[in-house]
Amino acid sequence: MPKPLRGVRRLLNEWQEVVLRRGWFRYDFFDGTNRPGLILRYLARAWRQDWVAAYEQSLGRTFDTPPAITFGAGRMALYAILEALDIGPGDEVILPGYTCVVVPNAVLYRGATPVYVDLAPDSFNLDPEAVEAAITPRTKAVLAQHTFGQPCDIEAIADLGRRHRLAVIEDCAHAVGASWNGRRVGTFGDVAFGSTDHTKMFSTVVGGFACTSSAALAARLRAIQRRAMPLPWFCQIQMMLQYVVLAVLYHPHVYWAARPAIELLERFRVLFAFRDELATRRPARYPVTLSNVQAFLGAQELQVLEANLQHRRALASRYRDILDPGLPISPEGAWLRYSRLVASPQEWETRLGKYFVVGRWFSSIANGRTRDWSAIGYVPGRCPRAEYVADHIVNFPTHPRIDEQAIQRFRRLVARSGLSVSPTIALHTAVEAPS
């Protein structure tokens, strides 16, 4: 069958599945915070103002640092950090063995070597003891990721950095607004970066930033930003369209059309995306700068960040009451998702699928890549806990569209399904590697 016809057939099958399952009303876990009215405000009058500087000031206040340095994506901010730290061929960068593929890609773009380290036995974050064991004379930096908005043991990792004279890079892509022992994440290491694509705490469609209290490092990052190319005007138009379209398609009442419609829009390149997930060599025009409209969206979202955080924390407590009664809930986490390990993620997807799209994120040790691990320097079996987590993870949404009605639906579905979680693989308890 010709390729275009195969695509059409797949779309028809998607809609058939919706009809047969009567999945007309569903909550997606990747909903984001899009507010279409903001685009109208921007087009009406806000476009006249320079929003990039204002947004960078606001990000700095959020992270208790000087103004941030923005880029077109979080992965680009990480690349700029590695360049500013003069990391290159012959250097090693320690990474968690459970991350997004764009993280090792950025290391590879610099000609350096990613070194994967397993997770701690009691969280989805780096194990500080494993980090120390992985340090060699070639190690130049450690990347400390705050997975799903739950801070890692950043004090221990920052101490390792000081003792071994390594740069500590905090990955706050999931954790904007989170704290550790009363102090904002992003301020413990030498530098931090974050992401604001539609899967994160708030959406600027795509976008990223770096924060640091080091004047010298900030100056180098600013120089890299000045050399970066702007996004073409047609890409900015795509982003504005996408911001509005996704807000509509991800609404629970029209989600029945979302997956087929998004696939169709992506097929014809109507939606904007950086398509470099599987690239291990730096693409052209990399990095790019953040556009004015993205900065405007980010500045508006930072004004309501505290309400966003409180909403997610309250939902985390509700999920805990339903799934894990008595389990302590971190009041300082960002709770990008309520994530847990289950024996059979597929069963949860099936049982809850009528009303909820159960997330499988990250379902790979380098999310976005499912094969050819040697291309990113990973050897299967190196990080058994991370591999186990990737096979057993499920996520439940905490975004602003999840309201009391959604939680009550979730409670009833779980009660009727008979699903339960073994205490040995619940969130914040021991993550056992397979024997």
- Percentage with pLDDT > 70 across the chain: 91
Rounded to an integer, the average pLDDT of 304-323 is: 96
Domain residue extents for the chain = 48-227, 305-425
Res 312 pLDDT > 80: yes
pLDDT in tens, 233-262: 999 999 999 999 999 988 888 887 777 888
**Looking at domain 305-425, what is its CATH homologous superfamily?**
Aspartate Aminotransferase, domain 1 (3.90.1150.10)
CATH architecture for segment(s) 48-227 = 3-Layer(aba) Sandwich (3.40)
Q: Is the model's pLDDT at 414 over the cut of 90?
A: yes
**Mean pLDDT of the residues in the chain:** 91
Whole-number CA gyration radius for the chain: 21
- Inform me whether the pLDDT recorded for 223 exceeds 70: yes
Backbone angles phi and psi of 340, in degrees to 5? -155, 170
**Mean per-residue pLDDT, 347-375:** 93
56 has pLDDT over 50: yes
Give the predicted TM-score (pTM) of the model: 0.92
Give the pLDDT score at 313.
98
- The mean pLDDT of 312-326, rounded to a whole number, is 94
Answer yes or no: is pLDDT of 291 > 80: yes
Distance CA 355, CA 21 (A): 10
Mean pLDDT along residues 51-58: 99
**Which of 66-80, 269-283, 418-432 has the highest mean predicted lDDT (pLDDT)?**
66-80
Q: What is the pLDDT of residues 18-41, one digit of tens each?
A: 544 555 688 987 777 999 999 999
> What pLDDT is stored for residue 424 in this prediction?
44
Q: What is residue 326's predicted lDDT score, i.e. its pLDDT?
A: 84
pLDDT given for residue 431 in this prediction: 40
pLDDT value, residue 254:
84
Looking at residues 73-95, what average pLDDT do you find? 99
